[in-house]
C-alpha cells in the first residue's frame, strides 16, 4: 500500500466532502500519522471509511467523524482541553496540536497504556492520559475551554457541561442508534447553555456512560 496516496485519498475523498474545510485541520491530517495509532492487526484499514476495533470492545471513530469533531471543537492556542474516551490516542493528538494541554480520560487501563505509548511514539508531549470513568466529567477542580467526548452518550450529563468555562464549548455525539447527533454545546452562563446539531451519525457508545432508565410496568 502506498501510505501517502492512501492518506491523500482519505482526506480528499472521505473527509473534505464531509464539510471538513478548515485548511489547518486538513494539513494536520498529513502531519499526525493515523496509521501510528491503529492496532497492528488492522493496519490495512488505517485509512478506510469505517470504525476500527480496539481492545475491550472499544473502537476508533471513523476518520471523517474524528476530523469533523476536531474541526467543530475549534481548539485555539492556549486552550485547556478535556477529552473523554482516549481510545487509540489519535483524536487526542489532533486536539493537542493546537491546545495548550489535553487531559484525556480512558476507562480501560490497557487501552490507556497503549494510547500513551502511541502518543509518546508520535512525539506528542502535551497530553496527559488518565485512567478512570469520565462519562460524568473529570473532577479535578479545573474548568475547560473545550470538552470532546469520543463516544456516544445516551444523554448529555449536566455535570459535564458544568466543567466548561463560560463561553467554553463541547462536542459530543448524543442519542441512541439509529438516531444519534453530534452536538456543539456552548456554555453561555453559569446556568445556561446552547446546543446546535452539527451532523447526524452513528457511533459506538462511550464505555461507562450511564444508560437512560427504561420504563417498567
Whole-angstrom distance, CA of residue 72 vs CA of residue 106? 22
Q: What is the pLDDT of residues 147-175, one digit of tens each?
A: 999 999 999 999 999 999 999 999 999 99
Q: Which residue has the cell 485555539?
A: 76
What value does the mean pLDDT take over residues 36-49? 97
Beta partners for 170? 147, 185
pLDDT in tens, 23-39: 999 999 999 999 999 99
- Angstrom distance (rounded) from CA 163 to CA 83: 12
- Pick 209 or 36 by higher pLDDT: 36
Model pLDDT, residue 217: 37
Cβ–Cβ < 8 Å for 66, 55: no
CA atoms within 13 A on the CB side of 30: 9
pLDDT of res. 62: 94
Residue at grid coordinates 417498567: 216
Ranking 116-120, 144-148, 211-215 by mean pLDDT, the lowest is 211-215
- Cβ neighbours of residue 63 under 8 Å, at least 6 residues apart? 10, 14, 15, 34, 47, 48, 49
- Residue range 186-207: average pLDDT? 94
Q: Is the pLDDT of residue 213 over 90?
A: no
Average pLDDT over residues 63-82: 97
- Rounded CA-CA distance 187/72 in Å is 15
Better pLDDT: 193 or 212: 193
Q: Which of 215, 203, 130 is nearest to 171 (CA)?
A: 203
Confidence of residue 216 (pLDDT cuts 50, 70, 90): very low
Is the pLDDT at 69 greater than 90? The verdict is: yes
pLDDT of residue 15: 98
Whether the Cβ atoms of residue 191 and residue 212 lie closer than 8 Å to each other: no
Residues 6+ apart with CB under 8 A from 53: 39, 42, 59
Average pLDDT over residues 43-69: 95
- Beta bridge partners, 60, equal 52
pTM: 0.94
Question: Which whole number is the average pLDDT over 143-150?
Answer: 97
Q: Are 135 and 153 in contact (CB under 8 A)?
A: yes
Residue 215's pLDDT band, with cuts at 50, 70 and 90, is very low
* Of 58, 61, 54, 82, residue with least CA distance to 15: 61
178, 199 in Cβ contact below 8 A? no
Angle made by CA atoms 90, 95, 182, in degrees to the nearest 5: 85
Mean pLDDT of 124-145: 92
Quote the CA–CA distance of 175 and 121 in Å, as a whole number. Answer: 35
Q: What percent of the chain has pLDDT over 90?
A: 86
User: Domains along the chain?
Assistant: 3-201 (3.40.50.150)
Amino acid at each position: 500500500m502506498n501510505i501517502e496516496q492512501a492518506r491523500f485519498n482519505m482526506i480528499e475523498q472521505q473527509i473534505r466532502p464531509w464539510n471538513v474545510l478548515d485548511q489547518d485541520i486538513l494539513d494536520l491530517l498529513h502531519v499526525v500519522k493515523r496509521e501510528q495509532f491503529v492496532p497492528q492487526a488492522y493496519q490495512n484499514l488505517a485509512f478506510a471509511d469505517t470504525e476500527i476495533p480496539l481492545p475491550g470492545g472499544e473502537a476508533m471513530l471513523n476518520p471523517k467523524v474524528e476530523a469533523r469533531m476536531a474541526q467543530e471543537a475549534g481548539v485555539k492556542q492556549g486552550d485547556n482541553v478535556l477529552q473523554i474516551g482516549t481510545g487509540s490516542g489519535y483524536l487526542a493528538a489532533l486536539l493537542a496540536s493546537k491546545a495548550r494541554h489535553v487531559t484525556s480520560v480512558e476507562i480501560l487501563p490497557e487501552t490507556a497504556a497503549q494510547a500513551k505509548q502511541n502518543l509518546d511514539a508520535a512525539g506528542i508531549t502535551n497530553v496527559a492520559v488518565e485512567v478512570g470513568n469520565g462519562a460524568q466529567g473529570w473532577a479535578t477542580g479545573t474548568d475547560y475551554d473545550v470538552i470532546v467526548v469520543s463516544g456516544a452518550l445516551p444523554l448529555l450529563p449536566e455535570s459535564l457541561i458544568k466543567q466548561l468555562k463560560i463561553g467554553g464549548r463541547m462536542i459530543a455525539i448524543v442519542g441512541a442508534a439509529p438516531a444519534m447527533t453530534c452536538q456543539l454545546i456552548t456554555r453561555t452562563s453559569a446556568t445556561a447553555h446552547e446546543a446546535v446539531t452539527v451532523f447526524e451519525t452513528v457511533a459506538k457508545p462511550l464505555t461507562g456512560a450511564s444508560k437512560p432508565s427504561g420504563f417498567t410496568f
